[in-house]
Amino acid sequence: MIIKSFGAAKNVTGSCHLLTDDKDDANIMVDCGLFQERDFEDKNYELGFDPKKVDYLILTHAHIDHCGRIPFLVKNGFKGQILCTKPTYQLSKVLLLDTGKIIFENYKYELKKSLRKNEKKPELLYDESDVLNSFDFFNPVLEYNKPYNLKSGFVIEIRDAGHILGSSFVKIKKGDGSVIFSGDLGNKEKPIVKNFEYPDEADVVYTETTYGDRNHRSFQESKEEFLAAITDTLKNNGNVLIPSYATERAQDILYLLREFYEQGLLPECKVFLDSPLALSVTDIFVQNLSYFKEDKIPLFKKGDPFDFPYLNIVRDTEESKQINNVSGRAIIIAGSGMLHGGRILHHLKHNIWKKENAVIFVGYQAKGTLGRLIVEKEKKVSILGESFKVNAQIYTINGFSSHADQNELMEWITAVKTKPQKVCLIHGDENVMKVYKSKLEEKGFIVHIPDYGEEIGF
Ligand SMILES: [Zn+2]
Ligand SMILES: [Zn+2]
């Protein structure tokens, strides 16, 4: 079998791996995500392979860096099946529609700019109609620990990756050859979804390495840090901005804020969830209770565990603009998580230059994103074409990450009884991968870091 990576190879986003057998009988893809790092965005327009020849796309989970190029794949002739779990399908639909809109808005903006400057017209990656077309190809039949037969003798089996609702890692087998793709592995301390399961033997394991170089603070410490950042800001009549994707992280954050509220720890304030998607996502959560940690199920059965009196859900852009009239003591949760686009950018424009405000990052910020620049203490940043001074307080709470840390990544891979012939590192910054590589080598693993498009045979 031969595997080539066309994304998340020596970078974090754009996950996309293609497996073919020696006879070229079946072409199986794992994930087809959007590149979100600024330096890699051009790669979104080149797939690197013929989409018409792909028979199956196995989708590990609904994050855009794993599913965000599916409409582009379909637009370019993909006719195969997209295999995933039911929640992955439900969440992908919501997230892709949103992404389709953002891509189209950005395109219109760039087009106007190019016309004004008499420059080359930008290319539209895809729009809402391409997103709608792509839904016809989804086949959400995969269930954890149940083998599923593909053509030409391939068998796949997924297990819970413990990362977001419905997330999985997958083993692909044919005869006595096998490979595992980790997808994104979860942080075991996360409050709602179950923990990851462990892999069994395979010839080759592809593993994500997002946090391969470090360990998270404990969840409890992170909760305390989070509460302190909020209380300090509200005390000074500032606003708190929390960049977050609409799914999962936003729910985790609301879950915590509700908990703080019930414990009497949250000062009086207005919490805005500025996301039209949030309601549909909560519905999807409630329809999939079997994916949650046992002790959390009763809470969902009792009602909406994300709701509390300070919470306002913002649906349309008009309402979103009005948040800016609230002077102080507001907590605003909006996407996108890495400040790659979305409504959060408008809130940043209004808040980032005032020192009483705070931006609290609760998720990974990939290299080359605006989020990363701010986290790395850049003093001046460009937001929607305008330059702003960063005067607001910047906090990073890494214990809320939905990714496994170094110890957890190690725990997952060392659970295999017989070592694979090779471990391939993907979905990470290259310098992070190097740190994790030497950790694995200390344990006797043979490790390789594939390049974009490099052939890995076994
Ligand atoms: Zn993910
Ligand atoms: Zn990812």
Give per-residue pLDDT as tens, 199-213: 999 999 999 999 999
- Same CATH topology for 2-214+402-457 and 219-400: the answer is no
Cα 158 to averaged position of ligand 1 atoms, centre (Å): 16
For residue range 153-171, list pLDDT tens digits in order. 999 999 999 999 999 999 9
Question: Residue 171 corresponds to which tokens in the numbers above?
Answer: 């083993």
Ligand 1 centroid–CA 311 distance in Å is 26
pLDDT at position 278 over 80: no
Ligand nearest to C-alpha 186: 1
Ligand nearest to the CA of 211: 2
Report how far residue 239's alpha carbon sits from residue 237's, in angstroms, rounded to the nearest whole number: 7
CATH class of 219-400: alpha beta
Looking at the domain 2-214+402-457, which fold is it? Metallo-beta-lactamase; Chain A (3.60.15)
Question: What CA–CA distance (Å, rounded) separates 356 from 379?
Answer: 16
Q: How far apart are CA 183 and CA 336, in angstroms?
A: 21
Tell me what the mean pLDDT of segment 187-201 comes to: 93
Predicted confidence at residue 248, as pLDDT, reads 67
How many Å separate Cα 254 from the centre of its chain?
A: 18
Instruction: Report domain extents, the chain.
Output: 2-214+402-457, 219-400
Structure tokens at 412: 């997952």
Q: In angstroms, what is the span from residue 113 Cα to ligand 1's centroid?
A: 33
326 CA → ligand 1 middle, Å: 33
Rounded distance from Cα 12 to ligand 2 centre (Å): 7
Is residue 27 within 8 Å of 54, Cβ to Cβ? yes
Q: What is the number of the ligand closest to the CA of 210?
A: 2
Whether 152 contacts 172, CB under 8 Å: no
Pick 342 or 348 by higher pLDDT.
348
Please give the distance, rounded to the nearest whole angstrom, from the Cα atom of residue 437 to the centre of ligand 2.
Answer: 19
CA-wise closest residue to 359 among 401, 324, 393: 393
> From ligand 1's centre to the CA of 301, what distance in Å?
26
Distance 405 CA to ligand 2 centre (A): 14
How far, in Å, from the CA of 347 to the mean position of ligand 2? 25
In angstroms, what is the span from residue 210 Cα to ligand 1's centroid? 10
Confidence band for 246, pLDDT divided at 50, 70 and 90: low
**Distance from residue 314's CA to the centre of ligand 2 (Å):** 27
pLDDT tens per residue across span 67-120: 999 999 999 999 999 999 999 999 999 999 989 988 998 899 889 989 999 989
Q: Which residues surround ligand 1, an ion (CB under 5 A)?
A: 63, 184
How much distance in Å is there from the Cα of 6 to the middle of ligand 2? 14
